[in-house]
Amino acid sequence: MALSGKLTKKLVENLGAGRHGDGNGLYMVVDPSGARRWIVRVVVKGQKNRKGAPLRTDFGLGGADIVTLNQARERALEYRRMAKQGLNPRFNARQEMPTFEEVAQQVHIDRMPTWKNAKHGAQWINTLRDYAFPKIGRMPIDSIDQPEVLMCLSPIWTEKHETARRLSQRIKIVLDVAKSKGFRSGENPVTAIKDAQVLPKVKAKPKHHMAMRWKDVPRFYANLKTKNAMSANALMFTCLTGSRTGEVLGLRWAELDFEDRLWVCPAERMKTGEEHRVPLTDEMLEIIEPLKAMQSEFVFEGQKRNQPLSNMSMLMLLRRMQVEGVTVHGFRSTFRDWAAEEASAPREVAEKSLAHSVGSDVERAYARSDLLEKRRVLMRMWSQYVTSLCN
């Protein structure tokens, strides 16, 4: 027979911040952040406080997203029975502790609305799936300590350092969440490992995207313009705007203002997390305006209706054109070199054109302009240079 109390499943899901009693010492605690967890207040027989009164103690039973109302009632009843026998639940309780993988999967689900895109969310859990779950996934979350974390990080710390660094961050988040839900206590072992410098320092290797020489761009662009493919349209637009691949492929018609000749890329699609305005030149408009006839949500539609081109489409086009030693992202470097060497553009104008942050935090706090009109001039010069060999 199920235990009863004041709370219901619906109330548990909708209660506001505060401590809400179910009866018999069981409470649902809702943090201002919205996190929900169970606690039980008991009086252990024979234990007294400094004033000689019976000692009341709160014990965490776990988060409400993992421990159901009925499970919390059953655990609370078990704690009260132990307390009446003079047993401290902290040392005698038989908790149904979730595993590391169970908590990690729940963290992933809870954070889905916060990912910039589905790909980022998948990468987050896949890193844990590949490098943590095989070693510690089935272990109770409260048994994970420094040796277990090192068991995941050490094998890849040197050869796959960037992956290991991200893995450590994600393990730390899972363990922090477990602590907030009452499943762990004490210092996070990931923090302890970092502070003690247990793992060797690895000098990060700068990642450079292979780029085309700016002097070679007009001839390449003239050849590219002869290609009758959506990937060619996207690559020409990418080259002229100096934008990132994801920003171009995710371009929607709703982001374009043809009257003001602007593309406003929203913050959620920008690497910087800030909205970016791109001035549209005659050459850019010549590429995209004919695509309106497709009546698609995306400017550069892929093989599936109302879906963008794949991330590999432009790179594969470069390979078919037998353009070796060049990446799509590298055209940003090409533009930057041209802006400095040929156009003698001010540094802040060139950097803003690439949606890069310029200056210190203090400088950025005062220099809030995105230099749009100066960038219009620079992008017009770049477009004219790139298309100079086209008929």
Contact 287, 233 (CB under 8 A): yes
For tokens 């705007």, the residue is 241
The answer to whether the pTM exceeds 0.75 is: no
Confidence of residue 368 (pLDDT cuts 50, 70, 90): low
Longest dimension (CA), the chain: 95
| Dist CA 385 CA 342 (whole Å) | 10
The CATH 3.30.160.390 domain(s) of the chain lie at 9-88
Task: Find out whether 313 and 234 touch, Cβ atoms under 8 Å.
Answer: yes
pLDDT in tens, 76-99: 888 888 878 777 665 555 556 778
96-143 confidence digits (pLDDT tens): 677 898 888 888 887 877 766 667 778 888 899 889 998 898 888 888
In the chain, residues under CATH classification 1.10.150.130 are: 100-196
Could you write out the DSSP letters of every residue in 150-193?
A: HHHHGGGTTTTHHHHHHHHHHHHHHHHHHHHTTS--S--HHHHH
Query: Would you say domain 214-386 falls under CATH 1.10.390.10?
Result: no
Q: Distance between CA atoms of 326 and 349, rounded to whole angstroms? A: 25
Q: Is the pLDDT confidence value at 373 over 80?
A: yes
**CATH number for the segment(s) 100-196:** 1.10.150.130
Collapsed DSSP state (helix, strand, coil) of residue 45: strand
Model pLDDT, residue 9: 86
Q: CA nearest 239: which of 318, 344, 149, 129?
A: 318
Rounded distance between C-alpha atoms, residue 110 and residue 98, angstroms = 16
Spatial CB neighbours of 22, under 8 Å, sequence gap ≥ 6:
5, 6, 7, 28, 69, 72, 73, 76
- As a whole number of angstroms, the distance between CA 273 and CA 270 comes to 5
Residue with tokens 């171009």: 248
Range 3-22 average pLDDT: 85
Q: Phi then psi for 19, rounded to 5 degrees?
A: -110, 125
pLDDT attached to residue 16: 86
The model's pLDDT over 171-216, given as tens digits with 9 standing for 90+, comes to 999 999 888 877 888 889 999 998 888 888 877 555 556 789 999 9
Q: What is the mean pLDDT of residues 48-62?
A: 71
CATH 1.10.443.10 domain range(s) in the chain? 214-386
Q: Angle 382-387-389 (CA atoms, 0-180°, nearest 5)?
A: 130
CATH class of 9-88: alpha beta
User: Where does the pLDDT of residue 149 fall: very low under 50, low under 70, confident under 90, or very high at 90 and above?
Assistant: very high
Q: Which of 150, 115, 135, 92 is nearest to 268 (CA)?
A: 115
Place of tokens 């969440």: 177
Per residue in 205-251, pLDDT (tens digit) is: 555 567 899 999 999 999 999 999 999 999 999 999 999 999 999 99
Band (363; pLDDT cuts 50, 70, 90):
very low
